[in-house]
Amino acid sequence: MIEVEVKVKIDNKEEISKKLKELGFKYIKKKFQEDIYFNGIDRDFKKTDEALRIRDEDGNFFITYKGPKLDNISKTREEIEVKIEDKEKMRKILKKLGFKEVPPIRKIREIYKKGDIEASIDEVDSLGTFLELEKPVKSMEEKDNALKEILTILKALNISNDNIIRKSYLELRGSQ
Amino acid sequence: MIEVEVKVKIDNKEEISKKLKELGFKYIKKKFQEDIYFNGIDRDFKKTDEALRIRDEDGNFFITYKGPKLDNISKTREEIEVKIEDKEKMRKILKKLGFKEVPPIRKIREIYKKGDIEASIDEVDSLGTFLELEKPVKSMEEKDNALKEILTILKALNISNDNIIRKSYLELRGSQ
């Protein structure tokens, strides 16, 4: 699966939340997420633009691989995610295999949905507040249309394309 | 967790099954297991005596890391296992990370239990029939007693210690 994804920094959370609702987005729920990232064994994921992470989402655990970004505007990339039953054991397996752990990224994520577009307002520990707009697509052909759709929403929210951030929270923290 | 484990090749399945029951083992169930093994990224698991595998057990999936063997008699080693929700996605993640897959090992496993000792009669595709006796222990201190206990059962089954095989099914097939 390919995740077409755009991220912007915001400083007006309440306003964005109100506007999302005006645009037809529905508030779904608030989640606490802790992401444990790992660096590669034979290559530096910072250089190859990949990611390997264990996510703890309110006590549900996932392992996720993210491939390199696929265009120059968005954070669109291949994403493969599997639900797992135990966080600490998976963490131990990855360490035994030789992956190097970096300090976890913690955030509170408010999720809104309109059709298959997901909007997340993230309050990220020590980094601030961000909006992510995301749409899953099945093929590279659908990617461009999905990106256009997301940029239209961004415009309707009065957010300029100049505010788009392609860096991950990990890169923004500068500790990978 | 440490798995104290001894394996022997057998050619008299019915007899062993009968003797296990006479020794107080209870027949639990029969399972179909398909094990997909992977070789290391930065090291050859054949040389480091490690293993990474995805197990499909009647449609339940697990990822398992096994550390090097801890003594010269048995197959005792550290084992870390996590239940996962999807086999194909996990397989894809491991391949993307750079692990190399080898052809799967398939077997039908009949499980017997007596207390915390598990006896498995394995009919392994193209390799034949084997008996595995296994006891999980928490520390290295308990390891030696568990091994003695298992060797006593082997003796009661009229199986000589000379028949003990320390190689994995993967090594026996010679295709790792």
All structural domains of chain A: 2-173 (2.40.320.10)
Does A175 have pLDDT greater than 90? no
Do B89 and A82 lie within an 8 Å CB cutoff?
A: yes
Listed by number, the residues of chain B in 26-45 with a beta carbon closer than 8 Å to a beta carbon of chain A are 40-43
Per-residue pLDDT tens digits for A103-118: 999 999 999 999 999 9
A41 interaction partners in chain B (CB closer than 8 Å): 41-42, 97-98
Interface confidence (ipTM) of the complex: 0.86
Determine phi and psi for B129, rounding to 5 degrees.
Answer: -110, 140
- Please state, as a whole number, how many other Cβ atoms lie within 10 Å of the Cβ of residue B165: 15
Per-residue pLDDT tens digits for B82-125: 999 999 999 999 999 999 999 999 999 999 999 999 999 999 99
Does A14 have pLDDT greater than 50? yes
Q: Provide the token pair at A172.
A: 């923004």
Q: What is residue B141's predicted lDDT score, i.e. its pLDDT?
A: 86
Per-residue pLDDT tens digits for A37-49: 999 999 999 999 9
Contact of A84 with chain B, judged by CB distance below 8 Å, is answered with yes
Q: What is the mean pLDDT of residues B10-21?
A: 96
Q: Are B6 and B75 in contact (CB under 8 A)?
A: yes
Q: Would you put residue B120 in left (φ > 0), alpha (ψ -120 to 50) or beta?
A: beta
CA torsion sign for B27, B29, B34, B40 is negative
Closest CA of chain B from A11, distance in Å: 36
Q: Provide the token pair at A113.
A: 């949905």
Q: Would you put residue B175 in left (φ > 0), alpha (ψ -120 to 50) or beta?
A: alpha
Q: What is the pTM of this model?
A: 0.87
Q: What is the mean pLDDT of residues A90-112?
A: 97
Q: Are B140 and B146 in contact (CB under 8 A)?
A: no
Does B175 have pLDDT greater than 60? no
Q: What is residue A1's predicted lDDT score, i.e. its pLDDT?
A: 82
Distances (CA, A) of A79 to A63, A65, A122, B157: 11, 6, 19, 51
Q: What's the CA gap between B39 and B23, in Å, rounded?
A: 39
Q: Provide the token pair at B95.
A: 């391949």
Q: What is residue B72's predicted lDDT score, i.e. its pLDDT?
A: 81
Closest among B124, B148, B142 to B133, alpha carbons compared: B148
3-state secondary structure of A46: helix
Do A97 and B52 lie within an 8 Å CB cutoff?
A: yes
Per-residue pLDDT tens digits for B24-80: 999 999 999 999 999 999 999 999 999 999 999 999 999 999 999 888 878 888 999
Nearest to A96 among B65, B90, B97 (CB): B65
